Amino acid sequence: MVDSTAGLFSHAPYPLANTLAHKGDPGLCGPESVAWPVLGDAAAFIGGIRALLVQAAHPEVVAGVSDHSRYREDPLGRLSRTSAYVTATSFGAMPEVEAAVAMVRSAHRPVRGESHRGRSYRAGAPALAVWVHNALIPGQLDTATFAGAGT
3-class SS string, 34-73: CHHHHHCCCHHHHHHHHHHHHHCCCHHHHHHHHHHCCCCC
In-domain check, residue 7: no
Report d(CA 86, CA 19) in Å as an integer.
15
**Number of domains the chain is built from:** 1
pLDDT, one tens digit per residue, over 8-57 is: 556 677 888 888 899 999 999 999 998 999 988 888 888 988 999 999 99
Cβ count within 10 A of residue 146: 11
- The whole-chain average pLDDT of the chain stands at 88
In-domain check, residue 119: yes
| Identity of the residue numbered 99 | A
15 φ, ψ (degrees, to nearest 5): -75, -15
Q: Which residues form the domain of 135?
A: 32-147
In-domain check, residue 2: no
Put simply, whether the predicted model's pTM sits higher than 0.75 gets the answer yes
Entry field: residues in the chain: 151
In-domain check, residue 77: yes
